Structure 1
Amino acid sequence: MVALIKRMRNLRELLWVRIGPGALLLPKEVTKLGLEFSKNKVGGHMGPRKFWREMLPRIKFHNPTIPVEIRRHNTPTGPALLHIYTSTSSDPTPAASDISVSDTTASTPPSSTPNPRDTQVPTTATPAHTVDIKSADELDILAQLVSRTGATEIKATPEEAAEMAEIKEFNVRREKDRVEVREKLAKERREEELLRLARGEVSAAA
């Protein structure tokens, strides 16, 4: 049973990154992605944070050669932006293929060559698209990315769909087992309590 639970957990983690929102192929023209938002959840930055945590890993998994740069600042009233660089963007130095994360503060000086929108991130490149994602939820941000790049959504294969069904069935079975175990333990505790009361009554009568 332990081995089965471990297998299901590993399978679930693998499927989580392979399929779902954000599982898409970016066209070859896309050379880099940038995401800028506040560390604070308030001020319209919840959606960008969820996009970063839940969807960006899938995007990166399916597009490992496209660098992703994350910039987080400390200002809730600051910008939340999605930058999309293409082969026509003036980005002379491709970044590493990993997701790079850096923190900026509200005191970050403005760039001498700013992005098309107000931003706290200095840059020497000009993205092909800069999208204001403040107050947008994560699905809206994904839709904006797909719309501007023409990315292709990756559907689950029949094998993956079968694996998802297997995980769902396993979770239902496991929850049923948990309920049965809880009910059994509760019943045993009640019986033990009744037995203790009965023993007390017998002792008191004696």
Structure 2
Amino acid sequence: MVHILKRARNLRQLLWIRNGPGAIQLPKEVTKIHLEFHPKLIGSAFRGARHFWHEMMPRMKYRNPTVPMSVTRHKDPNGGAYLHIYTSTATPASSQTTNPPGTANASPEASNTLTPDTTEPTHTFEIKTLHESEILDLLVEKTGAVVLRTPPEEAQEMEEFKEFEVRAEKDRIEVRERLLRERREAQLLKLARGEVPNAA
């Protein structure tokens, strides 16, 4: 029984990382994705960046194992949050593309021969107040990534897992309530028999 539950958990994790927001296929020109944000929530600031990192980047990495994806968590609560996209070919800058404070524009030579450690990103976006879905839409739009749809059979399996989890949670609550009730009844029985001394 334990092995069955373990296999079920592994299958659920596999389905989760294969499907859902962030399951995209990046074009071969994308050489690196880097995320930068403050680790703590300050109002609604940084919430989208944190959720994007936690929920969507694992799926992106699973679908694009050869593309380095990194995260920097800075300590300035007043600082920004940025999505950096590196590509191996020069891409014309759009009106939405911005550079973080103190960052110089990339040279044409750097854009054509990308070295992520020393070259400026092709695109940098301020994402401090964006929702995680908006960050993903921005990434897809600027890179031309392909959004991968969930196969019908896997969608059905995911739905079955959701139903199983709902039933399992209901069962856990019922078991917990029954155990608490039995303990209370046992305690009352001991009190009635005088087996439990009164507190001094």
Fold in common (TM above 0.5): yes
Give the TM-score, by structure 2 length.
Answer: 0.74
**How far off is 1:110 after superposition?**
4.5
**How far off is 1:23 after superposition?**
0.7
Match of 2:132 in 1: 138
**Identity, % of aligned pairs?**
56
Match of 1:6 in 2: 6
Q: Which letter does structure 2 place at the counterpart of 1:71? A: T
Q: Which letter does structure 2 place at the counterpart of 1:171? A: E
Q: Quote the Cα distance in structure 1 between the aligned partners of 2:32 and 2:54.
A: 18
Give the TM-score, by structure 1 length.
Answer: 0.72
**How far off is 1:79 after superposition?**
2.5
Q: Which letter does structure 2 place at the counterpart of 1:14? A: L
Correspondence list, 1:127-206, <5 A? 127-200=121-194
Gaps of 5+ in 2: 92-100, 108-115, 195-200
**How far off is 1:114 after superposition?**
4.4
Match of 1:98 in 2: none
Note closer, same or farther for the CA distance 1:66–1:123 as it changes in structure 2 (3 Å cut): closer
Q: Quote the Cα distance in structure 2 between the aligned partners of 1:70 and 1:188.
A: 50
SS across alignment from 2:41: coil
Note closer, same or farther for the CA distance 1:87–1:123 as it changes in structure 2 (3 Å cut): closer
Q: Quote the Cα distance in structure 1 between the aligned partners of 2:79 and 2:166.
A: 44
In the alignment of these two chains, the number of paired residues is 176
Structure 1 contact 24–151 (Cα < 8 Å) conserved: yes
Match of 1:203 in 2: none
Match of 2:37 in 1: 37
**How far off is 1:83 after superposition?**
1.5
**How far off is 1:6 after superposition?**
1.6
Match of 2:23 in 1: 23
Match of 2:65 in 1: 64
SS across alignment from 2:61: helix
**How far off is 1:197 after superposition?**
4.7
**How far off is 1:187 after superposition?**
3.4
CA-atom RMSD, angstroms? Answer: 2.8
**How far off is 1:59 after superposition?**
0.5
Q: Quote the Cα distance in structure 1 between the aligned partners of 2:81 and 2:154.
A: 34
